[in-house]
Structure 1
Amino acid sequence: MTYLRRKADAYLETWKADPNRKPLIIKGPRQVGKTETIRRFAARHYDSIIEINFVEEPKYRMITADGYGADAIIRNVSLIDPSKRFPSGRTLLFFDEIQDFPDIATALKFFKIDGRFDVICSGSMLGIGYSRIESNSVGYKSDYDMRSLDFEEFLWAHGYGDDVTDDMLGHLVAARPFSAAQMHVFSSLFLDYCALGGMPEVVSSYIANGTFEGTLAMQRQLVLDYQEDIRKYAQGLDQARMLNVFNHITVQLARENKKFQISKVARNARFKDYRGCVEWLEQSGMVNLCYCLAYPELPLKGNYDENKFKLYFGDTGLFVAMLDDEASEDFRANRNLGVYKGALYESIVGEALKKQGYDLYYYKRENSTLEQDFFIRTRDFLVPVEVKAKSGTAKSLRTLVASDSYPDIRFGIKFSAGNIGSSEHLFTAPYFTAFLLKRLVRAFDAGEAPLLDNPDR
C-alpha cells in the first residue's frame, strides 16, 4: 500500500528537531494510520527501531516486572529478544497498542530522565482510560491526536501540493470566487471524499484502483471492528446499550430534528442510564459529540446543556457505510443521498471542524424554529456556521446576525454547494473549503480577511 502523506509527518519532524523532546503519545481511533506514520518516520531517523505491540506480543507486558527504569526495561526486552540492539542516541522505542498495557506510561518519566532513547507510544481507545496514563506520566510526555485524513490530506493523496491549498485559502481571504473549472474539480473530489471518508486503507484502495470497487466492504469491516472494540473494551458499562447508541446515529441524523434522542434508542430508555455510553464513544474517537448551547454567546465552554447533543461519526465514511445498500450505492453511483443529504453535509463539516481542533456546539431555541448548526469564535466574536444541503436562504443564520439579542455575533459563515460570496454580513463558501476555516479565522483576526466589512450594526 502506497504511503499517504499525513499532517502528523510534519509534527513528528518538529518533535524530533526539539533537543528537549519528551516521550510522545500518539492517540487516535483504530486504523487512522498511526502505526504506518510512526514506522515511516522511524525508518528515516533511527538506526535501531524497537517496535513492541502489546496486543500481538503480550509477553512484553513483563518488561516492567523489575521496575520502570530505563535500564530495567531495556534489560528485560533484551532478555525476551537478544537480537534487539539499543545504541545510545540512535534508538527509538515504539510501544504500540498501549491501551492493552497502560502501565508502560509509568516508564516514560524514567526514559525522559535517562535521555539515551527516544520513545513513541501509540494505541487506539486511549481516551477511555487516559486519566490513568496521564497520572502516570504527567509532565514527562507530549500528546498528539491523530484522526483519519481530512480533505487537505485527501488532496495530497491525489497528487495536489501545498500550492493548491494556499491558493484555496487565498480565494477565501480575498473573498474571490473560484473559477468554474476549480468548482467542478474540487466539488467532485469532495463528493468522492464524502463517500469514502478518510480511513487510509479505503483511500489508498480508491487511489490505486481509480474506482470505488471494494471500498464499501472495507468501510463496513471497519464498522464491525469498531463494534468489536466496544465489546472488548467497554468494561463496566452496558455494551448492549452502547451498541444501540452507535447503531442509531445514522437514523437519528436523518430526522429533521437531528438532536440525539435516547428515548428513540430503546423502549423506556432514560438519559441517566446512557450518559456513560455516549461519553465512552466520544472518548474512544468513534463519534463526535456536539452540545447544544444554552444561549449563543461567549464563552463557549461551559455554556451548554450536557443533556442535549447531536452525535456524528468521527469519520463520515462510516456514516455512509452504515446506510442501507440502496442508499449507499445510490450515493456512490449517482451522488444522491435522499433523506440523508442534510445529515451527510452537516456531519462532514462537523468532522472538518473537529479535525481542526474545534469543539462542536449548536443552538436550538425552545419553542422556535431558530436553529444553528455550529459555532466557532474569532478573537472577539462568536461566529455561527450554517451548512446548507439545499439552495435557499439561511433564515436562522440571518436572524442571529441581524438581531440585537446576540451582541457577540457580528457575521456568519455558510457552507453550501455554491461559490464564494459575501453579503449582509454573511460569508458563503463551498463545502470543500471547510478544512481551511481555522486558517481563515486567523487571517481575519490578523486583519487580512474582510469577512466583515463593517463590524458596527
Structure 2
Amino acid sequence: MYFKRKVDSYLRQWKEKENRLPLIIKGARQIGKTESIIHFADENYENVVSINFVLEGQYKTILSDGYSVENIIKNISLIDPSKKFIAGKTLIVFDELQEFPDISTSLKSFKMDGRFDVICSGSLLGINYKKIHSNSVGYKTDYEMFSMDFEEFLWAKGYSDLHIEQILEHMCSGKVFSETELSVYKKLFLEYCVLGGMPAVIRQYIETNTFSDTLEIQRQIQLDYEEDIRKYAEGLDQTKIASVYRSVPVQLAKENKKFQLSKIEKNARSREYSGCIDWLKDAGVVSVCYCLDYPELPLKGNYDELKFKLYYPDTGLLIASLDEEAQEDLRANKNMGVYKGALYENFVAEAFLKQGLGLYYYKKENATLEEDFFVRTKDELVPVEVKANNNRSKSLRKLIDNENYSDIKWGIKLADSNVGIENGIYTFPYFCSFLIKRYLAKRG
C-alpha cells in the first residue's frame, strides 16, 4: 500500500525541468523518504540504480578513484555487475546519505556529466549538512520532507482534493460546517492526533482499523531516535541532547510552556544546551517556536533566541511519550485530560511547520498578554490563538484592539468549535490548521 505524498508532485515537477540539478531529500528518519523516491523512480525511469549506504556498506569505497562519474559507475559495477547505467534513462538513488556524506561531493560531477539523474536522501540525524552543502553548493536542489500531514492522512483514508477544497471554502466564506461534516472531520482529526504522521503507524492503523500495535511502532521510532543520538551526535553531550528531547512533553504540560533548562538541570546554562537544541532541530525531531521581541513585522530577526518553546514535529510521537494512563484516556476514552492544551498547541505547531510557516509566539513581560502563534499576510501580522476551552480570547482581543500593535488588524482562533466570525476574530475548528497558509494566500 503506497500513500500519496506531497513530495510526489514535487518529484514530477523536478523531472520535467530540462536543466534539473541532483536532488537531496532530507528529513527525520522513518517519514517515508525512501518509499516515495522508489515509487517515483519505478514509475518514471526505465532503469534505477539504488544504493543504501547503511545496508550496503561495501559501496563506501566507490570514491576510491576520485569523484568523476566514470570512476564512480565503474566501481559500482565492479561491486555489482548487474547494475546497469543507461544514459538518459537511469536514476541513481544514494540512500542514507548521513552514512557516507562524501558522496555529495560527486554531485557537481554528475550535473556536469549530464547522463544520469541523481537523488540523494538521508535523515537529518547525523548529516553534517554544512559540509554537504559546501561540497555541492550550486549543483544540487534541496527538499525538506516531514511525516504525513493531516491532508496526506485524509488522502490515505480515501478523501479527495474536493473534500480539501470544501474545507477551505468554509474557511473563506465563513459558512459553518454541517453537523455531519463537523462530526466526521473532528473524529478524523482525533485519529490523526493520536497516530501522528509516520507512514508505518498510519499503515498499521488503516490495515487493522484499530490502534492496536500503533503505540509499539511509535515507541520504537522514539527509541531509534535516541539510538541515533548516541550514534551521530559527535562533539556534543549526548546525555544532554537526550534529556532535552525527553523533557519536551513534560514542559508542554506546564501552564507556562516556555522551555526551561532549569527543569532539566537545576543550574543549567543556555550556552551548555544551545548546541543540543540546535542538533535536535537540525535532526528534525524537535521544532523551535521563538518569542517575539514585539508583535510587529518583520518576524525574522524580531525574536529572542533565548526564549522559546519546543514541540515535537509529530504529535503522535508526543502522545506516545505520555504515561500509560494518558494513553488509555486518549486511545480508548478519547479524553485529552491535562495534556489537552499542549496536544492541540503541538498539533498547530506541527501543521504550521509542515506548511513552511515560521513558529513565533509572544509573551509580554510582567503582564498577562500572551499569544500562541503568529503568521502573516503580505503586510499584516496575524495572531493565532489555540483554545483548549471555550473561554474568551482576551489576549487576541487586546492585540486586535490596541492601536499600538499597528500591524495587527484581525486574528485567528482555533478551537473545538465551528466556523465563526466576530469583531475581527475568525474562529476555525482545529482540523482546519493545515490550510492556514492557503487561507492567508486567498485573503492576500
Residue pair 2:382, 2:409 contacting (<8 A) in 1 also: yes
Instruction: Give the match for residue 319 of structure 2.
Output: 320
Q: Following TM superposition, by how much is the alpha carbon of 1:267 offset from its aligned partner in structure 2, in angstroms?
A: 2.6
Aligned pairs for 1:20-419 within 5 A: 20-125=19-124, 128-419=127-418
Residue pair 1:34, 1:146 contacting (<8 A) in 2 also: yes
Mark the CA change 1:238 to 1:415 in structure 2 (over 3 Å): closer, same or farther: same
Give the letter for the 1:409 counterpart. I
**Equivalent pairs, count:** 444
- Post-superposition Cα deviations, 1:353-400, rounded to whole Å, max 9, x if no partner, equal 000001100000000111100001000100001100111111111110
Distance in 2 between the 1:140 and 1:100 partners? 21
Residue pair 1:127, 1:285 contacting (<8 A) in 2 also: no
**SS of the residue 2:84 aligns to:** coil
Distance in 2 between the 1:371 and 1:427 partners? 18
**SS of the residue 1:383 aligns to:** strand
Q: Following TM superposition, by how much is the alpha carbon of 1:128 offset from its aligned partner in structure 2, in angstroms?
A: 4.8
* Gap regions ≥5 residues in structure 2: none
**SS of the residue 1:20 aligns to:** coil
Distance in 2 between the 1:50 and 1:128 partners? 22
Q: Following TM superposition, by how much is the alpha carbon of 1:80 offset from its aligned partner in structure 2, in angstroms?
A: 0.9
**SS of the residue 1:228 aligns to:** helix
Distance in 2 between the 1:441 and 1:123 partners? 32
**SS of the residue 1:308 aligns to:** strand
Instruction: Give the match for residue 450 of structure 1.
Output: none
Distance in 1 between the 2:131 and 2:162 partners? 43
Distance in 2 between the 1:336 and 1:278 partners? 31
Q: Following TM superposition, by how much is the alpha carbon of 1:160 offset from its aligned partner in structure 2, in angstroms?
A: 0.4
Q: Following TM superposition, by how much is the alpha carbon of 1:126 offset from its aligned partner in structure 2, in angstroms?
A: 5.7
Distance in 2 between the 1:144 and 1:339 partners? 37
Residue pair 1:128, 1:280 contacting (<8 A) in 2 also: no
- Post-superposition Cα deviations, 1:428-454, rounded to whole Å, max 9, x if no partner, equal 101101100000011000xxxxxxxxx
Residue pair 1:292, 1:364 contacting (<8 A) in 2 also: yes
Give the letter for the 1:437 counterpart. I
TM-score for the superposition, normalised by structure 1 = 0.96
Give the letter for the 1:221 counterpart. Q
Residue pair 1:127, 1:283 contacting (<8 A) in 2 also: no
Identity %: 58
**SS of the residue 1:64 aligns to:** coil
Q: Following TM superposition, by how much is the alpha carbon of 1:337 offset from its aligned partner in structure 2, in angstroms?
A: 2.1
Distance in 1 between the 2:312 and 2:253 partners? 13
Distance in 1 between the 2:399 and 2:68 partners? 57
Distance in 1 between the 2:124 and 2:235 partners? 15
Instruction: Give the match for residue 440 of structure 2.
Output: 441
Give the letter for the 1:172 counterpart. M
- Post-superposition Cα deviations, 1:76-119, rounded to whole Å, max 9, x if no partner, equal 11111111100111111000000111111111111011111000
Tell me, yes or no, if structure 1 residue 18 matches structure 2 residue 21: no
Distance in 2 between the 1:156 and 1:201 partners? 15
Moved beyond 3 Å, runs of 4+: none
Mark the CA change 1:401 to 1:393 in structure 2 (over 3 Å): closer, same or farther: same
Distance in 1 between the 2:313 and 2:286 partners? 4
**SS of the residue 1:52 aligns to:** strand
Residue pair 2:288, 2:308 contacting (<8 A) in 1 also: yes
Over aligned residues, Cα RMSD in angstroms?
A: 0.9
Residue pair 2:45, 2:91 contacting (<8 A) in 1 also: yes
Residue pair 1:27, 1:126 contacting (<8 A) in 2 also: no
328-337 or 183-192, which deviates more: 328-337
24-33 or 267-276, which deviates more: 267-276
- Post-superposition Cα deviations, 1:210-245, rounded to whole Å, max 9, x if no partner, equal 110110111111110111111111110000011111
TM-score for the superposition, normalised by structure 2 = 0.99
Distance in 2 between the 1:138 and 1:176 partners? 48
